[in-house]
Amino acid sequence: MPTYNKLVRDKIPQIIEATGKKFTTEILNDDDYIKHIKQKCYEELDEYCSAQSKEEAVEELADLLEVIHALANYHGFSMEEVEKVRKEKEENRGGFQEKIFLIEVEDGISDES
């Protein structure tokens, strides 16, 4: 029997059960949940980065968004609250639409004596 030891979507046990396969699950406590949902975030980001097509990319972006929803909920925020903060940051600092790549910034300290 393959061992996964990873956080899965809520309906995965039902989907496995429908195939007639046996499985083992457990309900995580809060400390283990946040640890594993953070790991899931890295997993989904890695899968997005490995996507070879637009179709794969949108699937992985949807998975990332689901993890973000779960993280927001865990921390007691609605997605509306997260979006409000995102918009404020975009308004104050901008987004990433202009593709600006910062090379260096002068530190203000002069080497001249």
**pLDDT number for residue 108:** 80
Give the tens place of pLDDT for each residue, 38-52: 999 999 999 999 999
Query: pTM of the prediction?
Result: 0.85
Its sign, for the CA torsion 28, 34, 35, 38, is positive
**pLDDT number for residue 110:** 66
CB 40 within 8 A of CB 67: yes
**pLDDT number for residue 48:** 98
Give the tens place of pLDDT for each residue, 63-73: 999 999 999 99
Its sign, for the CA torsion 25, 26, 27, 33, is negative
**pLDDT number for residue 112:** 61
Domain ranges, ordered by start, for the chain: 12-78
Weakly modelled stretches of the chain, pLDDT under 50: none
